[in-house]
Structure 1
């Protein structure tokens, strides 16, 4: 009888342990415009490491317009729906782009390919495509309403740059950090849209094209 009671006690204990409902691990937080807190800080650090400009306040833990433009740039580069929301899929793509080198001849996005940036003189790509430039161009593509952007000048070898009238002797084009672009909207509108995206870079407004670069400091002409 004692043995039966022991067996029954063990059965009750076993049943109690395994009768609780399974509680899945908490899903990663979904971040979007208006979100704030440490999760946004971590997101902003990742976006900054990708080369995005996050505005005058930088990493501030607030999901505002600069963070939104950066997230949309990643989504556009990755061929994802452009909703500005960071869930698992967009988070995975941010991680993917974070794993890519800053410069590579093999980098390309959903709307920009290496051949567009080759030197018009020698056909070289120099040290390769700039990840920061590509992702910011994608953000600009979204901001302009997904209107195609044509790259008229990407990388320039020193010989090619020296032969261009008006080109700066130390042009950002020679470092793979610049692009001259044409869009089927007024250049003034393009420059206005690029103002925040290239806030810490160069922005040149011309009558027939727009120059953008990721030099790392504010320059306008």
Structure 2
């Protein structure tokens, strides 16, 4: 085969994890001399408690793993300088954004705490959907003074999502957030008064008052389009009845 037809080697070819076929975020060197993503090779090891063999050579190997820091640094430099591009680079950058978000949240950034809660709540950005973790991060955001976190802490308490249902405490949080200007909290209060949810008596006047706040401009907007439309429809029903 002529050299002109020979495929050029891509720098990423030697850097990807042979199990995931992605750039390893936490690369480690296994006893077979290959570099893997830590989670993928640990899973392989745990799935083979006896007679462990290399997933590449199929030869016997030990369980020891060694951090491949230089490998990670090389990947980071090549991605930052545009040498590695495409899906491999995009997935690496997504992981970097996740790590930054986690670090910021642990450092006390209430907005990052709230964002983590949303990621766990909806299973976005590579996070596994987990309402319990979502509630924990919303609660931490609330405790750090984040109004969005206060609203969602209240909603989760009202519904028993990721935490035991505590409606009285939920209403305290939702009411506090709505008073501060959260349209999400205002929506939940309005719908609760309109329909008698969570043990409340139906109160048309209060329902209209809170639902109007939910559809107006507010300091802390976090209401998805579908619920905004639901609020408008319920308002129209209440005002016409």
- Shorter-chain TM-score above 0.5: no
By percentage of residues, which structure has more helix?
2
Q: Tell me the TM-score normalised to structure 2 length.
A: 0.25
When normalised by structure 1's length, the TM-score is: 0.27
With a CA cutoff of 8 Å and minimum separation of 6, indicate the structure with the bigger relative contact order: 1
